[in-house]
Chains A and B, each alone.
Chain A
Amino acid sequence: MFSGPAGTGKTASSIALARELFGDTWRNNFMELNASDERGIDIVRNNIKNFARMSSVGGAQFKIIFLDEADALTPDAQAALRRTMERYSQTCRFILSCNYSSRIIVPIQSRCAVYRFRPLGEDSMMQRILEISRAEELDISEDAVKAMIFVSQGDMRKAVNTLQSAAVMGKKIIPDAIYEITATARPEEIRELINLALDGELLKSIDRLTSMLVEKGLSGEDITAQMHREILGMENLTDKKKVELLDHIGEIEFRLTEGANERIQLDALIAHLVLSGGK
């Protein structure tokens, strides 16, 4: 069982394993099922069981069933899976991938070796980004690598996708391109916006905000999500203040998801920051 957040290598490891084990026949001996598409008990009793009981191809010792997003399987479907996992263990191995292992029933966990995948560290991210850049002959600055690490937050898939998108625009990769592609503001900009508002500069901060929305094309939810991240790390705020602000930002983001007007909601949020800054 591979458990961990997106882009940490669960699927990649599984496919790499299959390729290494089966060589050319890996596609015949590897069944990939996304459990969030088919999550009921039928999928286990029919598709999975049928594949499990067929013998492997090309002299391979066993086959692999890769159940992506296994935590989306209903508990009943999971229950139906457990004896199948044992009964066909001579011919078939299972890899279950999930975001939260707690969503997998204990009898299944008990039948698995659990491997936790964590968000990738900065070093691994940097190494891989540089490797790909070299192979693709990209000219990437140190700042751009840092920007990649910031926007992808340990999600390698996001990092590689971002890098590819940036490479389409040109061989020279600069931080601005990274932020633009991922609809992310520079972290400094968001922090400045928050501090400006807390200092009581209502008009100035609304002006900054407007330019982010209009000129950079960020969405309201991009901005609230980033404000959440920045506020958590700000040292000039007490924890109590942080919690109060985060609660309020969450409320604003919720209203945005409900279709409220970005300008009005975010202006109101800025005004709230101005008030709570007390200046």
Chain B
Amino acid sequence: MMKAGPENTAAPAEWTEKYRPSSVDDIIGNGKAVGEFTAWAKSWNSGMPESAAVILHGPAGVGKTSAAHAVANDMGWEVIELNASDQRTAAIIQRVVGSASRTVGLSGSEHRMIILDEADNIHGNYDRGGVQAIIGIIKTALQPMVLIANEYYDMSKTLRGVCTEIKFNKIQSRSIMPALRSICDAEGIHAEGLALDTIAEGANGDLRSAINDLQAVAMGRSHITPDDVIISGRDRRESIFDVLAHLFRRSGLNDAMHRIYDLDERPDELINWIVENLPESYDNEDSAHGFNYLSRADVFLGRVRRRQSYSLWRYASSVMVGGTMVSRSHKYKGFVRYRRPSFFMRLGRTRSVRGIRDSLTARIGDCFHVSRRYARSDLMYILRMICSDASVAVYVVARMGLGLDETAMLLDMKKTSKKVKTVFADASELAERIGPVVSPDFLYDFNGSVTDGGGDEISGRTPDVLDGGGNGNGADDPGPDRSQQTLFDF
């Protein structure tokens, strides 16, 4: 189980590494996920499973990477790992993972597990083309592939579509406790129950951080008491709720400001917490006054952002904190459950739509040598009009190499609609034959059925092509006025 180096000379190991489980049986928590994962791994013994790749996703420190290595170990598989500390461009991924994923081991029966850690962090620029390469590899893989991520929806939908999802959850503190206890036993440390309990509770479902906290406390001690368990940064969540309760319920600006100084939260983050909970805590009139102060505070925050003049933060803090407190005209009773800022969670939920939009505009930008912004504001609509003719749409989608989601967005239709499905299927077929291009010239090559007039008018410039094609199709498009305007605005 332990993989500590040569005794005595090696550095004292980090316990999170020293006690990393080497077998599935040693994994703590997430029984269901680990079960699904093991079943998927075992299915490789009887031929290829439905999907060659799984995505293990969930919060930090719950055992995703450990599970992957433990399963590989139990199965007797070799592991190839690529993580965010390595550059992951299309070429590198192909080189490291591509061939390994398609070849079968020498003895014929054994497999290699390919682990792509931090799969939600494949960088847009530094790892250009990485995601596409992974999708391509998964589609043709003959070896088990394991993708690991924190944010499932940070990964492209196409990537998610070709993988089986396995979700890991936070680990309950009553499962963390015994794990800490057994480490203490192995290390010959006597720890009081309450001390371990405090660590387990403070970890907020993150087993790794609990073990790190335990090791930090245990340094130089053979006996751990509750007093030894220092309050670390992980108590942050409790303290912000306390501070909110203070702001919304009590008075005393100076006192509140001191609590803010102790809070490990920047004013530009704190204001989101206040904004989220203000209308829940006050009646309409008091909320309105409060929001007025918050908007003043926000002006200061904006100035800091723009000018980097951090000295103005103090005014943002005092106006948001004091303003919230003094807008309260009377006492409020009853329990309010404070919430974390929802704005970012909502952004998270629409992330996939924004992701598709961004990748489509990026592709349009590449093809026409324009910025993404311009692609989105000016070109998207024109392309959409041109593509109202299905045969043009097939050609455009094929040449631009768009995915199903992108096709749906380009055509402004549901991806389950018949037209999108047909266009995408035909385009995939066409793409096999003609392949994608990255030059704006590709529209010249089209000699299908744009419109009768369109073909003749083709001269040397792309806009002309678009004029011809667009005009013909724009006629049966709703809102021809807007389309004309856009076209000639070129």
Contact = CB atoms under 8 A, between A and B. Distances in A.
B233 A41 contact: no
A243 B322 contact: yes
A217 interface: no
B12 A61 contact: yes
Given A247-B319, A257-B312, A42 B215 contact: no
Nearest to A99: B266
A79 B120 CA distance: 9
A243 B253 contact: yes
Interface string A20-46: 000000000000000000000110110
A193 interface: no
Interface string A103-139: 1001101111111101100000000000000000000
Contact of B269 (A79, A89, A102, A239): A102
A225 B121 contact: no
Contacts of B311: 221, 225, 253, 257
Contacts of A118: 262
Given A107-B150, A118-B262, A239-B322, A228 B314 contact: yes
Contacts of A90: 5, 10-11, 13, 17
Interface in B1-55: 5, 9-14, 16-17
Contacts of B316: 250
Interface in A63-85: 76, 79-84
A61 B10 contact: yes
Contact of A246 (B16, B236, B315): B315
Interface stretch (B82-90, B380-388, B392-400, B475-483): B82-90
A186 B151 CA distance: 52
B488 to A, nearest CB: 41
Contact of A113 (B17, B213, B231): B213
A101 B264 contact: yes
A161 to B, nearest CB: 19
Contacts of A112: 209, 212
A3 interface: yes
Contact of B85 (A84, A103, A111): A84
Contact of B233 (A3, A87, A91, A254): A3
A250 B208 contact: no
Interface residues of B, number: 64
A81 B296 CA distance: 38
A234 B322 CA distance: 14
Contacts of A239: 251-253, 322, 325-326
Given A83-B117, A239-B325, A109 B253 contact: no
B264 A83 contact: no
B325 A102 contact: no
B266 A243 contact: no
B232 A114 contact: yes
A232 interface: yes
B163 to A, nearest CB: 20
A113 B215 contact: yes
Nearest to B82: A83
B206 interface: yes
Contacts of A81: 85
A278 interface: no
- Majority secondary structure, A binding face: helix
A45 B311 CA distance: 34
A246 B264 contact: no
A258 B307 CA distance: 9
Nearest to A56: B11
A260 to B, nearest CB: 13
A84 B87 CA distance: 13
A106 to B, nearest CB: 5
B234 interface: yes
B312 A61 contact: no
A185 to B, nearest CB: 16
Contact of A243 (B10, B213, B231, B293): B293
Given A253-B311, A254-B303, A83 B253 contact: no
A272 interface: no
B85 A240 contact: no
A18 interface: no
A1 interface: yes
B152 to A, nearest CB: 14
B118 interface: yes
Nearest to B9: A61
Given A42-B126, A79-B84, A240 B326 contact: yes
B318 interface: yes
B221 to A, nearest CB: 14
A100 B10 CA distance: 33
A196 interface: no
B296 A110 contact: no
Contacts of A91: 11
A254 B312 CA distance: 7
A115 B217 CA distance: 11
A132 B117 CA distance: 51
B314 A111 contact: no
Contacts of B128: none
A238 B325 CA distance: 12
A86 interface: yes
A179 interface: no
Contacts of A254: 300, 303, 309, 312, 315
A3 B307 CA distance: 25
A191 interface: no
B314 A242 contact: no
Closest 4 CB pairs of A and B: A250-B315, A114-B233, A113-B216, A243-B322
8 contacts: A41-B123, A45-B86, A76-B126, A114-B232, A118-B262, A242-B322, A243-B318, A246-B315
Given A90-B5, A247-B315, A250-B319, 14 more contacts: A44-B85, A76-B121, A83-B85, A102-B236, A111-B208, A111-B209, A115-B233, A228-B315, A238-B326, A242-B318, A250-B316, A254-B315, A257-B309, A258-B307
Interface of B: 5, 9-14, 16-17, 59-61, 83-87, 117-118, 121, 123, 126, 150, 206, 208-209, 212-213, 215-216, 230-234, 236, 251-254, 257, 261-262, 264-266, 269, 293, 296, 300, 303, 307, 309, 311-312, 314-316, 318-319, 322-323, 325-326
